[in-house]
Each structure stands twice: as structure tokens, then as C-alpha cells.
A and B are shown apart, each in its own frame.
Chain A
Amino acid sequence: MEQMLRAQNVRFRYDPEQPVWALDGVTMDVKKGEFVAVLGANGCGKSTLAKHFNAILLPEEGTVLVEDMDTRTEEKLYDIRQKVGMVFQNPDNQIVATVVEEDVAFAPENLGVPTEEIRTRVDEAMKMAGIYEKRKAAPHKLSGGQKQRVAIAGVLAMRPDCIVLDEATAMLDPKGRRQVMQTIDKLRAAGVTIVSITHYMEEAARADRVLVMSGGRIVMEGTPQEIFAQTGRLHSYHLDVPQAAELRDALEAEGLPAPKQIITPDAAADWLFELLK
């Protein structure tokens, strides 16, 4: 499969005077159509990495490629930003306009898309994000989950190939989080590449691949099953496993033959049923 994003030996620090590297040699890639979750404790560098994917930050050493475009190529800046959309943590701080549809139109307006096409793009994006019914609403009257979907629609209106979610569900209640996750599922089905930076292990459990970051490096990589099988290692990076995996470990410690790949309630229930029926 083709690569969507590639980082090669990326090093970055916020203050070039200090020897503190926020990213300290990150090499990773994301294939087209893939859903990659990035986990890590606060300050591990995961948000810094996210901001490298659409040239908000540029590497001090190493390269970041979006398809085949080096993020340092200035002429390609807007092509890169159109290809890789970003959604941030605080939904309030990324909505510009006072009406939902006008906010969604912000990016195509900036890109100089003709008026008729903006309309099509905006409607399409709002339907995809599931906020079409709210198109005339004022953003501050919406719930957190709705606002975050407005932000997603605002990015989709650029017709990106990849969306990077930088802790996009961190400030949402469970309902809002569910809504955003459903939207992500829809985007996945439509072939959009997704990179999701999250603190929620349950969200990461749904990804194709999980990366774990610590101290500005990628320290673990694998399928969710592979990653959440290693509870001890995750703990050493100040991370957790979903409760289903916690139960699995606790049962294993009691001498029950709990298979390592159990990470979701469904899988746990299926196994326990076979065991106890």
C-alpha cells in the first residue's frame, strides 16, 4: 500500500537553545486508508508529532513527507494542509464563524473555491460529519460533541486524504465521544486515513495499528491486541490498558488460561462464556 505520511528520524525542540528534544528521532509511517492511534503520557511528544504532519511545525532534523511532499517545501504548504486536516482538543477554539455552515465554508473560502462548489463541499462535509441538521445553528449553542463534529466538517470541506485528531475527544462527555467515534468510523469507511492521538485506551483498541510514544520517541508499535497484551510495559510508560484487558491479566494471575488478545468487553465475554458455560 502507498504511504500517506512518513517521518524519518525527526528531531524537534521548541527552544533551539535548550538540549530538550520534544521529538528525539521519530521514524514512522502511516499507510493510505489506515487508522493509526498514538498513545503516550502527557509531555511524551505526541501532539508535537501531530503538528508535524501538516507543516504547523517543521523538523529541526530529519524529514516529514506527506505523500511525496516534504513539509519544508514552502510552495507546497497549502497542498499539504489541504491533504492533511487537523482537529484539535478544544472544540471552542477552532470554530471561526458564528453560523455552523459558514464555519465549515471557511477553508474552501480561503482556498478560493468557486461559490457554487463551496456549497456542494460544505453540504457534503456536514452530512459526513452528521451535523447537517445543525447547519444554521450558532456554534456556542451546540454540545461539545456537536462542536467537535463541526470542526471535523470544517476540515472535511478541504477534501483531505488524511485527518489528524489531536486529542479530539479529550474534552467530550461519553456521548460526545461516541458521536465523534461514529464519525471517524464513517470516514474510515470512506477511505480517509486517520491518525488519532488519544488518552482513551478504548478508542485506541479500535485502530488498525497503535504507536506508543515516550520521551519523544516511538517505543512500541503493533496491533491493538499486541500492544494491550503488554500491560507491564504500558504501565512503565504511564499508560493503562482497557478494563477488559485488566480483567484478563487479573484472571491470568489467578491461573486461568486467559488469552492475551482479549482487549474488548465483547472478546472477554466470548472467552468467559466458552470457559464457564
Chain B
Amino acid sequence: MLRDITIGQHFPGDSIVHNCDPRLKLVATIGYVVVLYACGNAVGVALSILLLLALYAIAKVPVKLILKSLKPIVPIIAFTGIINLLFYPGETPLVSFWIFNIYPEGITFAVLMAVRILALIAGTSLLTYTTSPTVLTDAIENLLRPLSKIHVPVHEFAIIMTIALRFIPTLVDETEKIMNAQKARGAQLDTGKLGQRLKALVPILIPLFISAFRRADELAMAMECRCYRGGAGRTQLKVLKFGKNDFLCLGFCVVTFGIILATRWVFPVIG
């Protein structure tokens, strides 16, 4: 069901990971992904995973959630794994069949790739688990603010993000309601050929679009009533402050990322 989607969900808490400045978290997540790929060796990747597990433990996010967020990407990992396994070149094949040769190098590379993708997803999930979407939007707006000087509509982008985040759950609920209503009228949504299935979507999509437009209309009016007039002259309830703790976190990230990256020059680089 639609409700099962957990990627992008927020789990409030009070850990240092939760309370750290969102701009730092955002930049650090990007940094983590870069380091994860740039280190290029097994020890580095292992350290990255250890770091991630430590952060998850500090943030007290249940392991069950990590597994749940990883579940939908298992097919992708399996697919890339098999491709890597089959096509990665090496010297002496371990197994050969038909036109394929599997080399030990291929196995290491495939495993490393798979682990990296998992770490990538788990790492970005940690960001969304510990940071509310609103705060994240604020962080993005804040980081991009210099761009508004060159007429990039940063505020507009941020408000669109906020409204999208606000309405996703509402529209998911609505979709489910409409689907149920049409099922109650005998619509068959999950059987039949592709063409039939696409046709079966019409009774869901049309009401959904109409409703989305109606909502947009009403929301626009409600925003007008609350004196909305774009980004100019706007103040904010919450102003992001880079505090002492955030400097400590920043230092921690620089050091740990540095160590992981340094492994590149100590241990053999794969791939």
C-alpha cells in the first residue's frame, strides 16, 4: 500500500544528530557520499559504514527502519551486482559458463558496489529521518540564498517545496480514498493487460487532478488572505544559527571524512 513508503519520513528525536544545524547535515551528507565513492577501498568503505552505524546509534533510529528503507532498493542492488559480477574484467576466471567469465576481482567489486549503494541510501535516509522536511527546506533555502542575488527564485523554490511536502500526505490519502471508491464500483485496478490497467487509471487520475487543482485554488486564496506577497520583506519564525555544537560536529565530520579518504593512499584501490 501507499502508506508503506518510509523513504523521506521524519522521526523526531532529541539527539545531537537531530539537533545539529541542518545546513551542516545537508553538506555533510553530500560530503559523506563523495567520500564513500572517492575512498575506493574496502577499509575505507568499512570505516564509512562503521561511522554511519555509530551515527544511527547516537540518533537512536531503530535498525528496523534502516532495513525497511533499504528493502525497496534490493532489486536495484541485485541487478547492478549481477551485472558487475558478469562483466567486470579480471585476469584468471574463477568460473566460466557460456559467454560469461566470473573473476575474483568481479566479486570484490560487485560486493563493494552493493555495500556502497546501501550505505548511500542509509546515509541519506539518516538525514531525512533526523531532519524535518521543513527544516531541510529552510537549510536548502539558506544555502542557496546567495543565488537570489543573481535572480534565482530561491524563496519561490522553497515555498514550492514546503507546500509539496505539506500536501503529499493529503494527496496520498486522497488517492487511496478515490481508489477505494472506484473499487467499490467494481473497478479492477490490479488485473488485466497493460493497456487495460492504464485505462483503469483514468477513473482515479481525473478525480485526483480535479481535486488537486481545487486544493491549489483554495490554498492560493487562503495564502492571499494571510497577506502572502512573495519573498520580499519576509521574516522568519526560526532563524538558523550555527552554534558551538555545530562547530564541534563540523570538526568531527572533517576529521572522520579525512581519515576515510586517507585510506585511499594506504590500502589498495579497487575499481
Interface check A114, CB cutoff 8 A? yes
Q: A112-B235, A154-B226 are in contact. Are A97 and B134 (CB under 8 A)?
A: yes
Q: Give the contact stretch, choosing among A100-108, A213-221, A224-232, A269-277.
A: A100-108
A89 CB to closest chain B CB (Å) equals 8
Which of B169, B219, B226, B229 counts the most chain A CB atoms within 10 A? B226
9 additional contacts (CB under 8 A) given A81-B224, A105-B236, A115-B237? A85-B226, A86-B222, A88-B221, A94-B218, A94-B219, A110-B227, A112-B233, A115-B235, A140-B170
**A: number of interface residues (CB 8 Å):** 41
A107 CB to closest chain B CB (Å) equals 4
Interface check A99, CB cutoff 8 A? yes
B230 CB to closest chain A CB (Å) equals 9
Task: Select A114's contact among B222, B226, B228, B235, beta carbons within 8 Å.
Answer: B235
The distance in angstroms between the C-alpha atoms of A31 and B49, with both chains bound, is 68
Interface check A98, CB cutoff 8 A? yes
A232 CB to closest chain B CB (Å) equals 36
Tell me if B222 and A82 are in contact (CB < 8 A): no
Interface check A14, CB cutoff 8 A? no
Q: Give the contact stretch, choosing among B59-67, B108-116, B158-166.
A: B158-166
The distance in angstroms between the C-alpha atoms of A211 and B45, with both chains bound, is 73
Task: Tell me the chain A residues, 103-142 only, with Cβ under 8 Å from chain B.
Answer: 105-115, 118-119, 122, 136, 138-140
Interface check A193, CB cutoff 8 A? no
Q: Which residues from chain B sit less than 8 Å from chain A, CB to CB?
A: 12, 132-134, 162-163, 165-166, 169-170, 173, 214-215, 218-219, 221-229, 233-239
Q: A88-B218, A93-B219, A98-B133 are in contact. Are A81 and B237 (CB under 8 A)?
A: no
Task: Select A110's contact among B173, B215, B234, B238, beta carbons within 8 Å.
Answer: B234
Query: Which residue from chain B places its CB closest to the CB of A77 in the assembled complex?
Result: B227
Tell me if B219 and A81 are in contact (CB < 8 A): no
Task: Select A93's contact among B133, B218, B239, beta carbons within 8 Å.
Answer: B218
Tell me if A122 and B222 are in contact (CB < 8 A): no
A-B pairs, 3 with minimum CB distance: A94-B222, A105-B237, A93-B218
Tell me if A99 and B132 are in contact (CB < 8 A): yes
Task: Select A113's contact among B132, B165, B224, B235, beta carbons within 8 Å.
Answer: B235
The distance in angstroms between the C-alpha atoms of A32 and B163, with both chains bound, is 35
Q: Please give, as numbers and ranges, the residues of chain A lying within 8 Å of B163 by CB-CB distance.
A: 96
Q: A86-B222, A94-B222, A98-B132 are in contact. Are A109 and B166 (CB under 8 A)?
A: no
Task: Select B224's contact among A56, A109, A114, A115, beta carbons within 8 Å.
Answer: A56
Tell me if A81 and B227 are in contact (CB < 8 A): yes
B18 CB to closest chain A CB (Å) equals 13
* A-B residue pairs in contact (CB < 8 Å), sample of 13: A81-B224, A81-B225, A90-B215, A97-B134, A98-B132, A102-B134, A106-B228, A110-B228, A114-B235, A118-B235, A119-B237, A140-B170, A158-B227
The distance in angstroms between the C-alpha atoms of A159 and B42, with both chains bound, is 61
Q: A81-B227, A106-B226 are in contact. Are A96 and B166 (CB under 8 A)?
A: yes
Task: Select A98's contact among B162, B214, B238, beta carbons within 8 Å.
Answer: B162
Q: Please give, as numbers and ranges, the residues of chain B lying within 8 Å of A99 by CB-CB distance.
A: 132, 134
A84 CB to closest chain B CB (Å) equals 9
Q: Please give, as numbers and ranges, the residues of chain B lying within 8 Å of A148 by CB-CB distance.
A: none
Q: A81-B225, A110-B229, A155-B226 are in contact. Are A139 and B218 (CB under 8 A)?
A: no
Interface check A95, CB cutoff 8 A? yes
Q: A102-B134, A110-B234, A112-B234 are in contact. Are A78 and B165 (CB under 8 A)?
A: no
Q: Please give, as numbers and ranges, the residues of chain A lying within 8 Å of B227 by CB-CB distance.
A: 78, 81-82, 107, 110-111, 158
Tell me if B222 and A140 are in contact (CB < 8 A): no
Tell me if A115 and B166 are in contact (CB < 8 A): no
Tell me if A93 and B215 are in contact (CB < 8 A): yes
Q: Please give, as numbers and ranges, the residues of chain B lying within 8 Å of A107 by CB-CB distance.
A: 226-227
The distance in angstroms between the C-alpha atoms of A270 and B228, with both chains bound, is 50
Interface check A61, CB cutoff 8 A? no
Q: Please give, as numbers and ranges, the residues of chain B lying within 8 Å of A54 by CB-CB distance.
A: 225
The distance in angstroms between the C-alpha atoms of A119 and B238, with both chains bound, is 9
B199 CB to closest chain A CB (Å) equals 30
The distance in angstroms between the C-alpha atoms of A82 and B235, with both chains bound, is 16
B241 CB to closest chain A CB (Å) equals 11
